[in-house]
Amino acid sequence: MKARTLLAPLAWAIVSLALPAAAAENAQTFVNKAAAGGMFEVDSSKLAQERAKEQQVKDFAGKMIADHSAANETLKKLAAEQKLQVPAQLDATQKSDIEKLQNTTTGFDQPYVEMQRSAHADAVNLFQSYAKEGDNPSLKAFAAETLPTLKMHQDMIEKIAAADAGMPAVKSASTPKPPAPVPGANSFTESQAKNRIQDAGYTDISSLAKDGQGIWRGQAKKDGKSISVALDYQGNVFAGQQ
């Protein structure tokens, strides 16, 4: 009985020491990515309001500045309450994208739209994942509350892309799935393509490569079976495609 009494506090001490470190790391990672993403939205959209030609792109940029500025302020307050650090600058990729936009003298709209498509795909994936599995209750609630707005932004930018023949479009929820991958300019990065395929229920995704038609192709597993997979520029996932 005495041994059990001594061991119980010791075991709890070990657990209590381990848990905060893991939780803080996960929460901090979310804050880092969410804050940097929000800053990128605002900075790139300020450039768009100055340089974009199409009014719908300017209008979209204005909404991004308003919505993401508000979300950024909320995130800062939550992070401060949780004693987490908020990054003061963009990551290397985001800085590079901003520089590309700053150096664009003609045809600003398309690269901005493509960057917004990619950024919102990443943001929706980040917030959706943290809202479901996040380790910090306050930040988890923030992610869940912000997610619908991010999805609305994503739908807006996809419609803008679809309205311009020069900008490849991701299908909307109401668009029927085609029988085979649709060739076209594919703006998904390898990481985004992998996430899309995973969301469709596949695991162990490997050997992803974009072919000459803009279709990501690779190998994956589903129901314990290895199978070839494909992802087209609209976001459609296909199995058994060569």
Transcribe 94-154 into DSSP letters: HHHHHHHHHT--S--HHHHHHHHHHHHHHHHHHHHHHHHH-S-HHHHHHHHHHHHHHHHHH
pLDDT at residue 19 in the model: 35
Residue 31, sorted as left (phi over 0), alpha (psi -120 to 50) or beta, turns out to be alpha
What is each CA distance from 32 to 36, 133, 171, in whole angstroms?
6, 17, 30
User: What does each of the 242 residues of the chain score in pLDDT, given as a tens digit?
Assistant: 444 433 333 333 333 333 333 333 489 999 999 999 999 999 999 999 999 999 999 999 999 999 999 999 999 999 999 999 999 999 999 999 999 999 987 889 989 998 999 899 999 999 999 999 999 999 999 999 999 999 999 989 888 887 764 444 455 555 677 888 888 777 788 888 898 899 889 999 999 998 888 889 999 999 889 999 999 888 889 997 55
- What lies within 8 Å, CB to CB, of 1 at 6+ separation is none
Cα-based distances in Å from 183 to 9, 78, 99, 214? 62, 44, 30, 6
Per-domain residue ranges of the chain:
2-163, 190-239
Contact 48, 42 (CB under 8 A): no
Classify domain 2-163 by CATH number.
1.20.1260.10
The pLDDT score that the predictor gives to residue 171 is: 54
Site of tokens 């619908």: 148
pLDDT for 180:
86
DSSP characters for 48-77?
A: HHHH--SHHHHHHHHHHHHHHHHHHHHHHH
CA-based nearest residue to 38, from 63, 62, 77, 65: 65
